[in-house]
Chain A
């Protein structure tokens, strides 16, 4: 039987998440950080974040703004010489941070992601106009005003639909039943 020497550490928690196992393989070469278009905007670079996670600095990692600056461009992932799925790790950090409410307002991205997924949850599709309006009103109503010229230009070119795409009533009910079941299963992180 396998003996656990470091039970309940942060690295175990991450390692148990699909896509997170490889965090143990990091050799701190820094290729991810050198590849990241946004590393200079992050409080901790991707390689630092991995080192911190492995050092058990759970709160520091999860309250950082770093993973929220991940663009999901996957450049780090394809370059990592150890085959670590760094983008997946960033998403895992984001999910735990969001679930525990640890993101501390230094980035608007968690609110944006949440607005996006709330719309998809309720409609099964993403109404771009509604989503953007909702997000700007939530975060900065003044900015919503500043976005009006862009919105008008999109409208003028037929690129903003007022009407959202709807699934059939059967499709809507089916998706709702699937979501409800997923929720009752606890939502794998």
Chain B
């Protein structure tokens, strides 16, 4: 059994829009003998919006989480790419800028907390493919995906900006994961290009154009569904797919799954663990043979 402190982030929490990501992350981890222990009383990471209006408060938001996690002495694992970037960014800022660290320390002290910079922040995808590994994943497959053509969509922040567990522009971990489940990862040139992120809210037309390109790229290589390790990417590609169709008079009907949902399908898990009912574009059509 491997143990981790778990940081769901707002989206993948039980109150969030990507709650099925949280459910399937926990269920899949159980199959893989990983225990995700949710950090008590965590707060929002602030995401990009907070860091774009107030740097110190944004760092303090993450620092509080890191300080709470440090007491547990385990790696801090999050399924959210934005939380992953924000928590890591805080770690490196505190390491590189002593003056910033002094300010954050002072603010934390007002809450009776201290942080010594020892928490390693990791993305769930990293943990699954590197701590557990493809062979182990393969050994848990109960329903081989039998060549299902899957587009591995990484999005941006799981691989950028920090040098991490995969290539920043041509990552492979999701591709290999799909193979280990018996599926086929389709060639996907735009696999790590941006879906528009939170600008889907403020600049919708612009983001819809970016999403359209991603669908074009995935479908030109015959994808039957798409998987992603990012809650915001999933929401943009799934919930806004009909808006893309309306705006560009296209006909996309591509199921968009959290990578843990697809793993769960291959592991033979049930709907209560997968939460496929929360997917806007129905996934049952392409997954019927397996569920």
Contact = CB atoms under 8 A, between A and B. Distances in A.
A26 to B, nearest CB: 17
A189 B203 contact: no
Interface in B152-170: 156-157, 160-161, 168-169
A72 interface: yes
B100 A188 contact: yes
A148 interface: no
A81 interface: no
Contact of A73 (B160, B202, B279): B160
A154 B238 CA distance: 10
B278 A157 contact: yes
Given A161-B16, A187-B55, A124 B44 contact: yes
How many chain A residues sit at the interface, stated as a range, is 35 or more
Interface residues of B, number: 69
B288 interface: no
B103 A185 contact: yes
A114 B202 CA distance: 12
Nearest to B41: A171
Nearest to A167: B41
A153 to B, nearest CB: 6
Interface stretch (A5-13, A44-52, A55-63, A176-184): A176-184
A28 interface: no
Interface string B228-261: 0000000100011011000000000000000000
A185 B56 contact: yes
B43 A171 contact: yes
Contacts of B15: 125, 127, 161, 163-165
Interface in B23-64: 41, 43-44, 46-57, 59-61, 64
Contacts of B280: 153-154, 157, 159
A17 B55 CA distance: 10
Nearest to A118: B53
Interface of B: 10-11, 13-19, 41, 43-44, 46-57, 59-61, 64, 93, 96-97, 100, 103-104, 106-113, 156-157, 160-161, 168-169, 193-194, 196-199, 201-203, 206, 210, 235, 239-240, 242-243, 275, 277-280
User: What are the 3 closest A-B residue pairs judged by CB atoms, nearest first?
Assistant: A181-B110, A74-B160, A73-B194
